[in-house]
Amino acid sequence: MYSLSTPLSRVKGVGPALEKSFADAGITTVKELLLHIPFRYEDRSSRVKVADLKVGEVVTLMGKILNPRNFYKGRRSIQSATLVDESGKVKLMWFNNPHVIDRFRVAADFLVSGKLSDRGTIVQPTVETFKQDGDSVHTGRLVPIYPTIVGLPAGTLRKILKEVVDHLTVKNDSLAQSRVELHGFMALEESLRQLHFPASEEKIVTARERLALEELVQLILHSHQLKEQWRSLNQAPAIELPAKQFGQVGKALPFPLTAAQQRCLQEVLTDLSQTVPMNRLLLGDVGSGKTAVAGLACQQMLSHGLHCCLITPTQILAQQHAQSLQKLFPEMKIAVVTSQTAKKLEVSTVPTLFVGTHAILSRLSEIEPGLLIYDEQHRFGVSQRSAAFGLQRQPHLLTLTATPIPRTLLLTIFSHLSLSVIDELPPGRKPVKSWLVPNGKREDAYAWIAKELRKDTQAAQALVICPFIDHSENEAFENVAAAADLYEELSEKFTQMEAQRTFEGGPIKVELLHGRMSKKEQQAVTQDLFAQKVDVLVTTPIVEVGLDLPAANIIVIEAAERFGLASLHQLRGRVGRAGQQAYCLLFTTSKALNVKERLQQFCETHDGLKLAEQDLQRRGAGDIFGTQQHGLDQLLFANWTNLQLVTEAKRVTDQLIAQHQDWHSPLESAFAHYSQDEQVPLAN
Ligand code: ADP
Ligand code: MG
């Protein structure tokens, strides 16, 4: 029997070589192995007789193997054999897989999964010996497909997982054993078993729900503990700011604040005048003026003799922020901190705003800031302290983000955060004109794009976002392949259109960018993009997110129905960055009525938060945080859009808290990845 903590070396079938491969992948215990989650399942459960084989259907056959053969065609080795059952026989074929033949040396019944080609053979089928008294592993069932572990053949990995789940006991199913009522959830042990070797599609869903519950409860408890801890600190530097002065703040700016900015600023200033440290999220679309609000908060802190820090995701952004803030606040003392300068940082007595990447965090004890701001930090301060920052006193914390986190989620899960929303753009901003393009108008749309790109009134660039085919991994092979195909197609299309003189002004240069290209290739393309030598960029959803191209004014999104509305909105935010009129074209081949309705709604709505709420209400279908790399999508099992489950997890957590139960999931360490980094500096 294995428990969650059993070292992998004790598992049957894991010798030193495999142990090493697993260890290299960070897997040393049964628990870690069980959290190597299938990214999909192949349905090989349909058992048929040879006589009933149909071309192209994945099925499993059972029978005897005759005439196993190994031969060469040029440099390729080919293996062939014949499977016979009582209804007939069919030819099997493999390439470069001599070992498969060895398995047929034993006289036994074999299970064979694969699909019949139109030439009457089954090519590259999966084979396994039929066991009278055991489950099949690779055939005849829903078969788990795992992310690859280097040095481990897929079949071996699956076999070891089967061995583990067949002999697994989870004694510390602490949620089931707690005094909390769980309504109809499966036991943890069973859910782990079903996750890997499900008895049916439905079992996959219920197993994942049970595991998601475990994860959400842990997360909500974390948040709760953080809130308690945060409140108890109660020693942040409170600035004295009489309420009637609030209205004066910001008067010196070159523009009047929007009403939303004013409201948010008030909320922030109110927090800053308390000794309970602020932990607030300032949420607003790109360009809504978050930085200006943050700058005003800093201005108040600085005028009360307190240093401030602004942490940015990249060095370039630090530079940009420093410059634009200096323009807005000419008197402010701003210092850009790089990882080099951080090492010998001199903290003067003049109140200063330090702007830089997380390198600043290593100098916090010298700076002793009164206010710490994270820009576009997507982790929302869920984390616990994992290292002491050596601070004497607790800074106030403000996180700026353009990720639309629905209020509902914040209230249930991130209850330790207060929320301010800038739900209004400064006047004069042009919303991105968005259209759902009917399929019949595709060619017209390309012609329009070509003309738009060749207008000489302004710089122009188009981004084409490929469908998210495989959500399991952002740069999954399928996604990249789709991008490559589309790139070929578009290159050809624009060349033809040019030959037919559909537009004027020289050839349109199309480029491809995705995460599986070498760093060097990526760099070359990126450089050409910024130099505007590229007119159309075809890319996968993920790479594109990191790019900030001021000239980009058109975005085309393929298979738009696969994205959540909030994700679409964030993609749309990538164009028109320089204030020019920008356009978003959605394509979909889906004929479903609700898809069209939803996308149409998207085209008419420009409020990211509203779109995120809509995503949330449509249970499960979309992924709010789909294309962003941040803490929220690092959940192992839970899906933010499953509001029902989130609510259930909240109920369970509230009960645990009410009963003063100090609960820990036996899987906790695996869930903790979102809390490992040190982003919530706490004073000693
Ligand atoms: P965010 O950080 O939310 O993306 P910024 O604070 O960088 O947005 O603001 C975007 C641009 O709009 C900046 O150039 C900023 O100076 C300007 N801006 C901010 N607030 C206003 C306002 N109320 N009126 C006009 N322009 C504004
Ligand atoms: Mg910004």
Domain boundaries, the chain: 8-39+168-196, 46-140, 201-428+623-684, 433-605
Which ligand 1 atom minimizes the distance to the CA of 328? 16
Options 3.10.20.30, 3.40.50.300, 3.40.47.10, 3.30.70.1290; CATH of 201-428+623-684: 3.40.50.300
Ligand 1 atom 10: residue of nearest CA: 287
Strand 371-375 to 396-401 pairing: parallel
Backbone angles phi, psi at 363, to 5 degrees: -110, 10
Q: Which residues contact 127 (CB under 8 A, 6 or more apart)?
A: 92, 100, 103, 110, 111, 112, 113, 138, 139
Beta bridge partners of 82: 66, 91
Q: Which residues line ligand 1 (CB under 6 A)?
A: 255, 257-258, 261, 284, 286-292, 426
Ligand with the closest atom to the CA of 282: 1
Question: Measured on CA atoms in the order 499, 503, 504, 507, is the torsion positive or negative?
Answer: negative
Which ligand 1 atom minimizes the distance to the CA of 295? 6
Ligand with the closest atom to the CA of 376: 2
Concatenated DSSP letters of 393-416: SPPEEEEEE-S---HHHHHHT-TT
**Mean pLDDT value across the chain:** 85
Q: Which helix (H) or strand (E) holds 565?
A: helix 565-572
Torsion angle (degrees, nearest 10) of CA 662, 667, 668, 673: -170
Q: Which helix (H) or strand (E) holds 96?
A: none
Q: Please state the pTM of the whole predicted model.
A: 0.68
Given a cut of 70, the residues of the chain with pLDDT beneath it are 377-390, 468-476, 542-548, 618-634, 639-641, 672-684
Q: Which pLDDT score is estimated for 298?
A: 97
Q: Which pLDDT score is estimated for 469?
A: 63
Which ligand 1 atom minimizes the distance to the CA of 284? 3
The answer to whether residues 571 and 465 touch, using CB atoms and an 8 Å cutoff, is yes
Give 121-149 pLDDT, tens digit per residue: 999 999 998 887 778 899 889 999 998 89
Backbone angles phi, psi at 373, to 5 degrees: -120, 130
Q: Which pLDDT score is estimated for 607?
A: 84
46-140 and 201-428+623-684 share one CATH topology? Answer: no
For the domain covering 433-605, report its CATH number.
Answer: 3.40.50.300
Which ligand 1 atom minimizes the distance to the CA of 292? 6
Q: Which pLDDT score is estimated for 286?
A: 76
Ligand with the closest atom to the CA of 286: 1
Q: How many Å apart are CA 535 and CA 552, to the nearest integer?
A: 9
The answer to whether residues 202 and 635 touch, using CB atoms and an 8 Å cutoff, is no
Chain centroid to Cα 266, Å, comes to 33
Q: How many Å apart are CA 311 and CA 179, to the nearest integer?
A: 43
Q: Which pLDDT score is estimated for 234?
A: 78
Q: Which helix (H) or strand (E) holds 494?
A: helix 477-499
Q: Which helix (H) or strand (E) holds 578?
A: none
For the domain covering 46-140, report its CATH number.
Answer: 2.40.50.140
